[in-house]
Amino acid sequence: MQNRLPITVDPIKAAQKRLDYIGHYPIKSVTRIEGLKSDIECSLSFYYDEQKLCVIAIEAEATLEQVCQRCFKPFITHIKVKNKFSPVKSDTQAEVLPEYYEPAFFNEFGEVDILALIEDEMILSLPIAPVHDSKHCEVSEADLVFGEISVDNEKPNPFAILASLKNKE
């Protein structure tokens, strides 16, 4: 078991060695997840399946802050992703993968960017319009009956919201 997670890895070599990793990607190494509040805790396994396909199994979780699209207050949420990938060189290879694997494209160095895969999975798992649990939300269901909430607008700037709250106090 390895503790230092690779950012990029040669998945073929890693699968031949049957490598497993458990560890975390420090929050500062993650650039594409907005509102991330924790390191990404992650486990990785590299192996060959019965069909001799190289497999990258990923489980990852993290805490992040989102802005509720109903009351526009920030809230903390926990996300967890789990998926299996198989490395491919082309779209043609990706198309013939069994459907239980996602394609993971090799980069020009013959490696797969594991952190980018995790970031993609996490971004895809997020709701388009995040909202509080209704019991925590400051806008009640009753209010919603009378007002149309548009989720198409640009995300409000959380700092602007904080500033306006401060002014009210």
Residues 6 or more apart from 50 whose CB is under 8 A from it?
A: none
Nearer to Zn ion, 34 or 138 (CB): 138
CB of 62 to Zn ion, least distance (A): 21
CA dihedral 135, 139, 144, 150 (to 10 degrees): -120
- Which residues of this protein are in contact with Zn ion, per CB under 5 A? 68, 70-71, 132, 137
CB of 75 to Zn ion, least distance (A): 7
Contact 148, 70 (CB under 8 A): no
Nearer to Zn ion, 9 or 131 (CB): 131
Nearer to Zn ion, 68 or 81 (CB): 68
Question: Quick count: other Cβ atoms within 10 Å of Cβ 142?
Answer: 7
Q: In a 3-state reduction of DSSP, which class is residue 54? A: strand
Nearer to Zn ion, 69 or 83 (CB): 69
CB of 32 to Zn ion, least distance (A): 25
Q: Which of 130, 135, 153 is nearest to 34 (CA)?
A: 130
